[in-house]
Chain A
Amino acid sequence: MVAGALWLLLFGTKPGTYAYRDGTLVPGDFTVVTYWEKWTKEEAEAMQAVCDRFNETVGRDKKIFVHFVSVSQVDQKTLIATAGGNPPDIAGIWGAQMGTFSAYNALTPLHELAADGTITRETYKPFIYELCAPGGVPYAASSTPAAVALYWNKELFREVGLDPEKPPQSIDELDAMADKLIIQKPDGTIVRAGFLPNFPGWWDYYWGNFFGNRLWISETDDYRIDTPEQVRAYTWYQKYAIKYGPGNVVSFGSGFGQFASPQNPFMSGEVAMCLQGPWFVNYVQNYTPQFAGLNFTEVMRLRSLGKISEAEAETRLMKARDLFRHLYGASVPPNAVGKPSDVLIGDLDVWAIPRGARNVKEAMEVIRFFSRQDNMEMLCRSHSKPSPLMKVSDEFIAKHPNPFIDVFETMMRSDKMVAMPVSANWAKVQAEITNANNAMWRTPDKYPVGPTLKETQIAADRHLAEYREITAIRKAAKSGGGAK
């Protein structure tokens, strides 16, 4: 009893208390694989369902139980747990962390999964392998991927006389539509915006790419922040703040509600167009009243409780797709380079095994299961995302809750797609860029584009120089030369 109490105190869970969904306890001779994941609410539920599927099938046969834990700030907590020598067996981190984690040797190489075909260039859609295998070493398997699209509110398009089926094809068209959609009071107060390049602000560092820049040079791990293309991009970015009034856009932005809430400005109709990922369809359906009883999460819940039939569930999902298509559109974002499909931005979540994980072999078994086409499609469908795999079933597309899945799948298959830099310095450089963008947006008179980008370039170069110097010292210390 004392030992049990001590265990409970130290580890929080008594041995043998992991249970299947039906309440049956996991036998003591099973290996428990701890899996930390960033997702919460519906997205976490979807992942839990895949874990349940593993536990009830392959897991039972191979005596492995995967214990899914939804963890906030999973990147930082994984980092600290790894440094402390007690990491989870599987960590569901962001693709953006791959550069840092791999550079600091924080992940277990997954050669076994590369050998059996789970992690290969051929298995995944074009940009994914580079992120999972920095420097050619397979450090992670892809979980759910994303492409960034331009969403627009068709009702608002209709209201101002724009064709709701025709999204902007160029930056000039985007600007013209934004100007038509904005409602500003005589005193400058913005009531509704057509488009604001800093909303939601998640990919602001890539606006330069939409104007022909290549932000990160992977071959040399350098950043191009003050190029003429970047200056053009952020002059356009800042132009929005200047033409609507910096005070007005800042004031308007400060009233925006949380992303996952009905107060999200796109959902509330305060912003007519915005960049977002495929998951946005789920969020819109979950937080707008028009989709009550039709959204994927609710339909699946009712179906699992046996309250509606399979046929009824399918009918409701189709209804939701049609309704979404009627209310909103999603397409490839325009750019200043050429056709919209010439510049594409991607994003990725990954599964990795932190260095020092206790159950590496079993964790690989779990990742192998997650990466199987049927499970991957089940997860991606629930998250309203495309699949990272090249091979997708017809059913996946036909029954996908995202009415624009074809748009996302097409973007994902393009070799023009770029994702975030896989660089150890990305976090530092990103912080500099974000700071500069905020300054240029909020106070354009004080922070003109050219000098601000130049300063940001200097700051980024300083980080890179320091990293290179320290790396050289580390190499020298490793080879016995000692620190200079």
Chain B
Amino acid sequence: MRDRVKPREQIAGILFALPFIIGFLVFMAYPLCKAVYFSFTDYPFLNEPVFIGLRKYVRMFGDPVFWQSLRNTIVFALMSVPFSLGISVLLALLLNNKVKAPGVWRTIIFVPSLVPSVASAMLWLWLLNGKDGLVNHLLGTKIQWLTSETLVLPTLAFIGFWGVGQTVVIFLAGLQDIPTEMYEAAEIDGANALQRLFHVTLPMLSPVIFFNLVMGIIGAWSVFDGPYILTGGGGTNRSAYFYAMYIRDAAFLQTDVGYASAMACVQFLIVMTLTALVIWSSKRWVHYR
């Protein structure tokens, strides 16, 4: 028989959850509903919104800048998410080994993720400078990392590893949660290090990989501040003009809140669909104990 929750406890529970519920309703649910409404209006910020049906969505599909920002974001996500995940798993595996001074290494890897994104963008701006940058100096080249249309997206994806500290910590926690008996059993069965990695570590780590994959996809779709500074607002011929940048420019520079809201709704649907796909596929590759 189920235990019945006393009314007093129910009230207490609701009261404790109330700050979150209010915050969610005011700062998440209401703006979300408003954005959906605005996406069907013309709303230039300073005038009242006027209902115009699907016009903003129709415009979106004929807008080359929309498609370019969408393409850039997809390419960036395809490059940065696997790259960041791969690097994070690799670093976590290294840190999980018996290295000397593990605390120092963990700090070194984690600290960059604490640097504000604007500050780290300024740092990379000078490291990758086409004229006097340290990277070009070391390589003996004059490569325009951030102004070349072909190089800018891979460069931005590569820079992403700077902020993998938090992901590494989560992976590390996941690795330390794997029971040692499983490794011992695998060893007794004659599994070598590589086999242990692919048949014990990665399957056991798959829930954490799944979580970081979902977070990575969401993060890649809302990438803004770092690339905005590094490319001066979108790069040569909008080669690094991301979806979130276009939403921001549409709302605040072009004062077209209706269009920005329509794009935000499409972005929401895309991220929802991708997340649903990852969740659906997780049945095949995520292993829970």
Enumerate chain A interface residues (CB-CB to B < 8 A): 76, 79-80, 82-83, 100-101, 104-106, 189, 247, 250-252, 254-255, 355, 427-428, 431, 435, 438-439, 442-443, 446-447, 459, 466, 470, 473-474, 477, 483
9 chain-A/chain-B pairs, Cβ below 8 angstroms: A79-B45, A104-B45, A105-B47, A106-B46, A189-B142, A250-B147, A431-B254, A474-B47, A474-B50
**B254 touching A483, Cβ below 8 Å:** no
Contact A443 B149 (CB under 8 A): yes
Question: B130 interface residue, CB < 8 Å from A?
Answer: yes
A140 to B8, CA, bound (A): 61
Number of A-B contacts (CB under 8 A): 82
- The answer to whether A254 touches B131, judged by C-beta atoms less than 8 angstroms apart, is yes
Contact: B237 with A82, CB < 8 Å?
no
The residues of A that contact B47 with a CB separation of less than 8 Å are 104-105, 474
B-side contacts of A106, CB under 8 Å: 46
Q: B130, B236, B238, B254: which contacts A427 (Cβ < 8 A)?
A: B254
Contact segment of B51-59, B71-79, B188-196, B262-270: B51-59
Contact B237 A79 (CB under 8 A): no
Residues of B contacting A189 in the complex (Cβ-Cβ under 8 angstroms)? 142
Q: Contact: A251 with B237, CB < 8 Å?
A: no
Within 8 A of A (CB), among B16-66: 42, 44-47, 50-53, 55, 59, 64
Confirm or deny: B252 has a beta carbon within 8 angstroms of a beta carbon on chain A: yes
**Given A100, A255, A439, which contacts B129 in the complex, CB threshold below 8 Å?**
A255
CA distance A427 to B256 in the complex (A): 11
* Besides A355-B46, A483-B52, 18 new A-B residue pairs in contact (Cβ under 8 A), listed by A number: A79-B255, A80-B252, A104-B44, A104-B47, A189-B142, A247-B142, A251-B131, A254-B144, A255-B130, A431-B253, A435-B234, A435-B237, A438-B236, A438-B237, A442-B237, A470-B52, A473-B42, A473-B52
Q: A251-B130, A254-B129, A255-B132 are in contact. Are A105 and B149 (CB under 8 A)?
A: no
Given the complex of chains A and B, what is the CA–CA distance between A189 and B237 in angstroms? Answer: 24
Which residues on the A side are within 8 Å of B51 (C-beta)?
477, 483
Judge whether A427 and B44 touch: CB under 8 Å. no
Chain B neighbourhood of A80, CB < 8 A: 45, 252
User: A428 contacts which chain B residues (CB < 8 A)?
Assistant: 254
Q: Which residues of B contact A427 (CB under 8 A)?
A: 253-255
A460 to B6, alpha carbons, bound, how many Å?
A: 66
B255 touches A100 (CB 8 A): yes
Closest to B234 in A: A435
Say how far B28's CB is from chain A's closest CB, in angstroms: 19
Nearest CB in chain B to that of A477: its residue: B50
How far, in angstroms, from A276 to B234 measured CA to CA in the complex?
Answer: 25
Closest A residue to B125 by beta carbon equals A254
CB pair A470 B254 closer than 8 Å: no
Given known A254-B131, A470-B52, contact A105–B237 (CB-CB < 8 A): no
Report the Cα distance A328→B142, complex, angstroms: 32
Interface of B is mostly: loop
B130 A254 Cβ-Cβ under 8 A: yes
The one of A447, A459, A473 in contact with B237, judged by C-beta atoms closer than 8 angstroms, is: A447
A211 to chain B, nearest CB (A): 23
Knowing A255-B131, A427-B254 are in contact, say whether A250-B144 is a contact too (CB < 8 A). yes
Give bound CA distance, A446 to B50, whole Å: 41
Quick one: closest A residue to B236, CB to CB? A442
Q: Map CB proximity to A onto B245-274 as digits: 1 under 8 Å, 0 otherwise.
A: 000010011110000000000000000000
Q: Which residues of chain B come closer than 8 Å to A247, judged between CB atoms?
A: 142, 144
The residues of A that contact B147 with a CB separation of less than 8 Å are 250, 254, 442
A255-B132, A483-B53 given; A431·B249 CB < 8 A: yes
Query: Within 8 Å CB of B64, what residues of A?
Result: 459
Q: Which residues on A sit within 8 Å (CB–CB) of B255?
A: 79, 100, 104, 427
Q: B45, A83: Cβ atoms under 8 Å? A: yes
A482 to chain B minimum Cβ distance, whole angstroms, is 8
Q: Is the CB of B252 within 8 A of A443?
A: no
Instruction: Check A439/B236 contact, CB under 8 A, given A79-B252, A255-B129.
Output: yes
Q: How far is the CB of A424 from chain B (nearest CB, A)?
A: 8
* Proximity bits, B140-179, A CB within 8 Å = 1, else 0: 0010101101000000000000000000000000000000
Min CB gap A418→B, angstroms? 23
Q: Which of A79, A83, A251, A446 gathers the greatest number of chain B CB atoms within 10 Å?
A: A251
Which of A189, A251, A254 has the most chain B CB atoms inside 10 A of its CB?
Answer: A254
CA distance A428 to B259 in the complex (A): 13
Residue of A nearest to B51 (CB): A483
What A residues does B131 contact at CB under 8 A? 251-252, 254-255
A60–B130 Cα distance when bound, in Å, is: 56
**B129 shortest CB reach to chain A, Å:** 5
**Which A-chain residue is minimally distant from B146 (CB atoms)?**
A254
Kindly list chain A residues whose C-beta atoms are within 8 Å of the C-beta of B252.
76, 79-80
Complex CA gap A300/B50 in Å reads 53
CA distance A104 to B130 in the complex (A): 42
Chain B residue, CB-CB nearest to A356: B46
Residues in A with CB closer than 8 Å to B238 are 435
Residues of A within 8 A of B130 (CB): 250-251, 254-255
In the complex, the answer to whether B144 meets A443 with C-beta atoms within 8 Å is: no
Q: A133: shortest Cβ distance to chain B, in Å?
A: 19
Whole-angstrom distance between the Cβ of B165 and the nearest chain A Cβ: 29
| Chain B residues within an 8 Å CB radius of A439 | 236-237
Which residue of chain B has the shortest Cβ distance to A252 in the bound complex?
B131
**Complex Cα distance A438/B241, Å?**
14
Q: Are B142 and A251 in contact (CB under 8 A)?
A: yes
* A255 CB contacts on chain B under 8 angstroms: 129-132
Query: For B144, what are the chain A residues with a Cβ–Cβ distance below 8 Å?
Result: 247, 250-251, 254
Contacts of A477 in B (CB 8 A): 50-51
In Å, the complex CA distance between A105 and B254 comes to 15
Nearest residue (CB) in A for B64 is A459
Q: Which chain B residue has the least Cβ–Cβ distance from A255?
A: B131
Query: Which chain A residue lies CB-closest to B40?
Result: A483
* Chain B residues within an 8 Å CB radius of A466: 59
User: With the chains together, A264 CA to B95 CA distance in Å?
Assistant: 45
B111 to nearest A CB, angstroms? 27
Q: Which residues of A contact B253 (CB under 8 A)?
A: 76, 427, 431
Cβ-closest 9 pairs across A and B? A255-B131, A104-B46, A439-B237, A254-B130, A106-B46, A251-B130, A83-B45, A442-B236, A470-B42
B234: chain A residues at CB < 8 Å are 435
A83 touches B46 (CB 8 A): yes
